[in-house]
A and B are shown apart, each in its own frame.
Chain A
Amino acid sequence: MRNDSGTRRFLCAGGTGRDWRGQLDFAEASAGLYLLLGAEFVAAVQIIVYGGAIMVLFVFVIMLLNAGVEEHTSISKMAGAPGLLLVVALAGFVAATIAKSTESVQAAPQTGEIASTLGISNMIFKDFVYPFELTSFLILVAVLGATVLAQREKS
């Protein structure tokens, strides 16, 4: 472990640390938005999984690789022009689509008869049980993959 400037300026200066903080704030803000939309189960799951697990994983990786401070490089020139074009095109397309739908989808009043959790669990275990079991298999594959990847060389 080096006591170098990387440690010091982990989350203050620009670079990965700041990006991580932004990502965490965004995950929490998303959870707040989900609560406002009446999706309480999804909000709680978002905080637990995104904010409590995925972001912790990122923090560990950033710590281990001492990646706090990014190299001060300019924006990649090679991806400059086509990239900018692509982003503008994407944003323009989406904005045009949204603007064209003049009658916005009327927000159905929250009946609140079936609580979000109960309804979601009904759907997961009745209609979507097959994808649900597949995701458990996916998680198993990911765990195995991450374990294998993180092993040290046996040399």
Chain B
Amino acid sequence: MVPTNYYVILSAILFGLGVFAFIFKRNIITIFMSIELMLNAVNLAFVAFSQALGKLDGQVFVLFVIVVAASEAAVGLGIIILIARNRQTLNVERVDLLKL
């Protein structure tokens, strides 16, 4: 039985990687995928604790998180397509019309 700590540490590392990619990467699709990575990391933590505590609440919440991630991906990718069409670029630093 793998100790729960290991799963939680893995989840934390993955979350950190997601944050890192979110902050440093400039391609908008990559940033989006890092959001999915963060959500997945959190899912892993939920399932690990669900198994550790013997209750199924964690897994139920994972289902909700997956649903939210899916809807967010759908709408977000629609927005990304529009941005790419309008600004002809996928670099977030070029989408700066509102900047001072």
Direct contact of A and B (CB under 8 A): yes
State the A residues within 8 Å of B (CB): 15-16, 19-20, 23, 26-27, 30, 33-34, 36-39, 41-42, 45-46, 49-50, 53-54, 57-58, 61-62, 64-65, 67, 70-71, 73, 75-76, 79-80, 83, 86-87, 90-91, 94-95, 98, 101, 104-111, 114, 116, 119-120, 123-124, 128, 131-132, 135, 138-139, 141-143, 145-146, 149-150
Docked-complex contact A86 and B19, CB < 8 angstroms: yes
Known: A58-B33, A110-B51. 6 other contacts (CB 8 A): A39-B47, A39-B62, A105-B4, A107-B1, A120-B60, A135-B68
User: How far apart sit A41 and B93, CA to CA, in the bound complex (Å)?
Assistant: 41
State the B residues within 8 Å of A (CB): 1-5, 7-9, 12-16, 19-20, 23-27, 29-30, 32-33, 36-37, 40, 43-44, 47-54, 56-57, 59-60, 62-64, 66-75, 77-82, 84, 90-91, 93
Contact A73/B91 with A42-B59, A120-B59 known, Cβ cut-off 8 Å: yes
Docked-complex contact A54 and B53, CB < 8 angstroms: no
Docked-complex contact B66 and A105, CB < 8 angstroms: no
Contact A41/B70 with A98-B5, A145-B78 known, Cβ cut-off 8 Å: no
Docked-complex contact A120 and B12, CB < 8 angstroms: no
**Interface of B: prevailing SS:** helix
Docked-complex contact A70 and B27, CB < 8 angstroms: yes
- A53 CB contact (under 8 Å) in B29, B70, B78: B70
User: How far apart sit A34 and B63, CA to CA, in the bound complex (Å)?
Assistant: 12
- B66 CB contact (under 8 Å) in A46, A110, A120: A46
Docked-complex contact A67 and B90, CB < 8 angstroms: yes
**How far does the Cβ of A151 sit from chain B's closest Cβ, in whole Å?**
10
Docked-complex contact A37 and B7, CB < 8 angstroms: yes
User: How far apart sit A116 and B57, CA to CA, in the bound complex (Å)?
Assistant: 11
User: How far apart sit A46 and B12, CA to CA, in the bound complex (Å)?
Assistant: 19
User: How far apart sit A87 and B30, CA to CA, in the bound complex (Å)?
Assistant: 18
